Each structure stands twice: as structure tokens, then as C-alpha cells.
């Protein structure tokens, strides 16, 4: 999704010349100088925002470095599941298909957003500098077979609840978190609701708690999709 690389030099260079955002370029330079090879991707939308993707091992260090640079306002921390959803809106489409006919939709391959990515889960966090009037989005890839990452709580106290929410909603473990328990959901709830393969079952009946099984609605055939 990186937009800067596509324009060719030959046609209309005045119009195609990309905006240069000097404060954010300078900040990206500072982050790269502090973290070195740990910065694995970046994206600047001029006069708007900066995304920096760092290595998973450098995630807490990135927060510490940015805090030292004056980015001391903790905005939020969350995660993104890049798996194309087999459920959700697609379910409506399947119901529509049953009525109107047609080809079922192919979910397509994994495609990550700004600053790139290699894995299904990405942690995203934002820090803000009141003095500079700018914010930074930090991203980090998390390997699918090892969903864990360092905690920001030593550097930002506010990360505590955000990491607990992220833990219950995505199943990502934060190493070094002092109290990593569920925040919203009951302790016996199974599954991670914000994952894309967690079905949003407003139209399907399923037993409590959580993602145990998916039953067809009364009167429906036995060809309903099943959960996990």
C-alpha cells in the first residue's frame, strides 16, 4: 500500500512531486538512529501521520526511545488482525447467495497496511508529543506461532489496561505485564473476539461461553458453516 513508489519521474514532475514533511522525516531519522536495524518499515503521510514498524524484540525499547524524544503522552495500544474475514459481512453475502444465487466470495491473501508487515497479527501503538504537536504510530509484527511481545508498562503506566484489552481480544501475551488478566470479558469466556476468525454471530445461535461450537438456527439445514 505504499503510495510514494508508484509515480514515474517522466510525466508532470511538478504535480507528482511528493510533499515533504520535514519534522516527520527528521523524527524518522532520529528513531532510525536510536534503534538501528530494528526499524523494518516506515510510512509518512505528509502533514498528517508517521508509521514506524519495528522489530518485535525492539518494541519496548522503541517506546523508551520515543519517550526520551519527548513523545511522553501515551495515546493507545491495540492490535490488527490482517486475516481476511471468513465471517462478518461475508455471512450476509452467503445468505444473499442462497436467495439470489452467484459465486461465493474469495477472501484473498493476507495484505498488510502502512509500513508493511509479514504476519497475521500486528501490534499498533501511538505516542504523542505535546511540544512537537505530532504523534507516531508504532507497529510490530508478531509471529503466528508465538503470540507474545514485550510490555510497555515499564515506560507508560497507561499501557496496562490497553495491553489487558489486547490480550483478551486478540490473545497476544505481553511479557513483563504485571497483571495480565481479562479486562472486560468473564474469566471463563473462550476465544478472542476481535480476531477475524471469531464469528460475529448475531444471526446464529451458539452456546455460552464463547467460541465452543456453532449451531444452526432451528429449522435450518445441516449445511451451516461450523465454528472452531
Partner 1 sequence: MTAISERDQLAYIASQAADARVNVELETEGMTLNLGPQHPATHGTLRIVAKLDGEEIITAEPIPGYMHRGYEKLTEVRTYPQVTALINRIDWLGSFANEVPFILAAEKLMEVEAPPQAQHIRTILFELARIANISLFLGDFGLQLGAMTMGFYAFRDREHVLNQIEAATGGRFHPNFDRIGGLKDDLPKGWIAETKAAMARLRAFCDETETLMMGNEIFQARTRGIGIIPADIALSYGLSGANLRGSGVDWDLRRDACPPGLAYDQADWKVWTHPDGDCYARTWVRLQETREATLIVDQLLDSLPGGPVMAKVPRIIKVPEGEAYVETENPLGAMGYYVVSKGDLVPFRVKIRTPSFNNISIVPWVARGVYVPDLISILGSLYFILGDIDR
Q: What is the DSSP string of the chain?
A: ---TTS--SSS-HHHHPPP--HHHHHHHHHHHHHHGGGEEEEEEETTTEEEEEE-GGGHHHHHHHHHHTT--EEEEEEEEE-SPPSSTHHHHHHHHHHHH--PPPP-------TT--SSSEEEEEEEEETTTTEEEEEEEEE-TT--EEE-STTT-TTHHHHHHHHHHHH--EEET-TT---SSS-TT--S-TTSTTS---SSSB-PSSSSS--BPPTT--TT-----
Binding of partner 1 at residue 204 (CB under 8 A)?
Answer: no
Q: Which of 44, 52, 74, 150 binds partner 1 (CB under 8 A)?
A: 74
Task: Find the binding residues for partner 1 in span 92-111 (CB under 8 A).
Answer: 92, 111
Q: Which is nearer to partner 1, 58 or 77 (CB)?
A: 77
Q: Which of 7, 185, 206, 210 binds partner 1 (CB under 8 A)?
A: 185
We find the least distance from the C-beta atom of residue 217 to partner 1, in angstroms, to be 18
Binding of partner 1 at residue 7 (CB under 8 A)?
Answer: no
Interface positions with partner 1 (CB under 8 A): 1, 48-49, 51, 72-76, 78, 80-81, 85, 88-89, 92, 111, 113-114, 124, 126, 130, 133, 135, 137, 156-158, 160-162, 169, 183-185, 193-194, 198, 200, 202
Amino acid at each position: 500500500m505504499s503510495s510514494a513508489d508508484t509515480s514515474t519521474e517522466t510525466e508532470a514532475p511538478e504535480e507528482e512531486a511528493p510533499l515533504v514533511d520535514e519534522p516527520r522525516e527528521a523524527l524518522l531519522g532520529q528513531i532510525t538512529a536510536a534503534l538501528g536495524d530494528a526499524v523494518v518499515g516506515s510510512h509518512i503521510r505528509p502533514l498528517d501521520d508517521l508509521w514506524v514498524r519495528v522489530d518485535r524484540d525492539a518494541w519496548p525499547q522503541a517506546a523508551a526511545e520515543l519517550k526520551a524524544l519527548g513523545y511522553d503522552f501515551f495515546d493507545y495500544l491495540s492490535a490488527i488482525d490482517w486475516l481476511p474475514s471468513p465471517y462478518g459481512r461475508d455471512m450476509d453475502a452467503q445468505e444473499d447467495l442462497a436467495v439470489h444465487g452467484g459465486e461465493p466470495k474469495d477472501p484473498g491473501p493476507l495484505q498488510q497496511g502502512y509500513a508493511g508487515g509479514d504476519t497475521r497479527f500486528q501490534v499498533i501503538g501511538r505516542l504523542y508529543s505535546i511540544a512537537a504537536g505530532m504523534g507516531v504510530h508504532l507497529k510490530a509484527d508478531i509471529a503466528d506461532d508465538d503470540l507474545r511481545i514485550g510490555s510497555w508498562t515499564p515506560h507508560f503506566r497507561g499501557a496496562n489496561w490497553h495491553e489487558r484489552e489486547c490480550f483478551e481480544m486478540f490473545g497476544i501475551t505481553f511479557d513483563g505485564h504485571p497483571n495480565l488478566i481479562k479486562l472486560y470479558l468473564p474469566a471463563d469466556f473462550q476465544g478472542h473476539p476481535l480476531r477475524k476468525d471469531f464469528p460475529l454471530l448475531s444471526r446464529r445461535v451458539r452456546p455460552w461461553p464463547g467460541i465452543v461450537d456453532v449451531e444452526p438456527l432451528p429449522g435450518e439445514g445441516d449445511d451451516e458453516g461450523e465454528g472452531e
